[in-house]
């Protein structure tokens, strides 16, 4: 899509969706945002959180980065984009849920396994950032073996990385305190870009299960 396509898309948005929901947009502008959840996902263009959850404007406070990674808490005065957004969502917006959502066919996970960025001087920041997925790669190899099917290794690494990022999330004092006091719930998801299905991490069984099963549990 070129820039003209984006411009036409905005015109269509204003005439259709915005016009149909103008009252809600005005309320959001006047009253501010009170999102239901902080969503931490990948920058991958194939993964669109609002579409895959049918969320309305104002529902999700979204962080997107390469690999849906969460760097461990580091209390210095450097620039920390993801950390800053986490702090804002938790301490200012008072979100009640935090979702870390990975996805299948993730380029970041594949790059970690293939070491695509190791020698490219134009990817110096990406190389450092991808180290946040190394522990998941190591664990996946430990579970399946170095000679395991490559696709199986990638799919397992994607899931294990989500768990790793949840662990990093709990290094943030503001998050850990609120999780311990049941003010915030944290969730690990994996979105399948081929089927549209979402699996969630169940810490009790240490498994990823269909998210639809949560709805079934509530109806029982």
pLDDT digits (tens, 9 = 90+) for 183-201: 999 999 999 999 999 999 9
What are residue 63's DSSP bridge partners? 40
Distance of CA 190 to the CA centre of its chain: 9
Question: Which pLDDT score, from 0 to 100, does residue 1 have?
Answer: 60
Neighbouring residues of 136: CB distance < 8 A, sequence distance ≥ 6: 109, 112, 157, 158, 160, 161, 163, 164
Cβ–Cβ < 8 Å for 194, 106: no
Question: Which pLDDT score, from 0 to 100, does residue 117 have?
Answer: 72
Question: Which pLDDT score, from 0 to 100, does residue 116 have?
Answer: 74
Q: What does the block give as tokens for 56?
A: 């309305």
Angstrom distances, CA of residue 1 to CA of 4, 50, 125? 8, 20, 27
Q: pTM for this one?
A: 0.94
Give the mean model confidence (pLDDT) for residues 124-152: 95
Q: What does the block give as tokens for 49?
A: 């959180």
Domain ranges (residues) in the chain: 1-32, 38-219
CATH superfamily of 38-219: Carbonic anhydrase (3.40.1050.10)
Question: Mean pLDDT, the chain, as a whole number?
Answer: 94
| Region label for 47, one of left (φ > 0), alpha (ψ between -120 and 50) or beta (otherwise) | beta
> How far apart (Å, rounded) are the C-alpha atoms in residues 105 and 109?
8
78 half-sphere exposure, CB direction, 13 A CA radius: 8
How would residue 77 be classed by pLDDT, with cut points 50, 70 and 90? confident
Is 220 a residue whose pLDDT tops 60? no
Is 78 a residue whose pLDDT tops 80? yes
């Amino acid at each position: 899509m070129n820039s003209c396509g984006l411009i036409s898309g905005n015109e269509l948005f204003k005439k259709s969706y915005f016009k149909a929901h103008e009252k809600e947009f005005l309320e959001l502008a006047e009253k501010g945002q009170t999102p239901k959840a902080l969503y931490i996902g990948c920058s991958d263009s194939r993964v669109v959180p609002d579409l895959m959850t049918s969320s309305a404007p104002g529902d999700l406070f979204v962080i997107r980065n390469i690999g849906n990674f969460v760097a461990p808490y580091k209390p210095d005065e450097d620039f920390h984009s993801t950390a800053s957004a986490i702090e804002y969502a938790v301490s200012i917006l008072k979100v009640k849920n935090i979702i870390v959502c990975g996805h299948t066919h993730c380029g970041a996970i594949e790059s970690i396994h293939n070491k695509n960025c190791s020698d490219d001087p134009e990817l110096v920041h990406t190389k450092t950032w991808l180290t946040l997925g190394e522990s998941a790669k190591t664990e996946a190899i430990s579970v399946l073996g170095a000679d395991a099917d490559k696709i199986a290794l990638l799919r397992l690494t994607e899931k294990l990385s989500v768990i790793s990022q949840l662990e990093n999330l709990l290094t943030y004092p503001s998050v850990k305190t609120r999780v311990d006091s049941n003010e915030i719930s944290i969730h690990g998801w994996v979105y399948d870009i081929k089927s549209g299905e979402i699996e969630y991490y169940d810490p009790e069984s240490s498994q990823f299960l269909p998210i639809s099963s949560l709805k079934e549990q509530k109806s029982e």
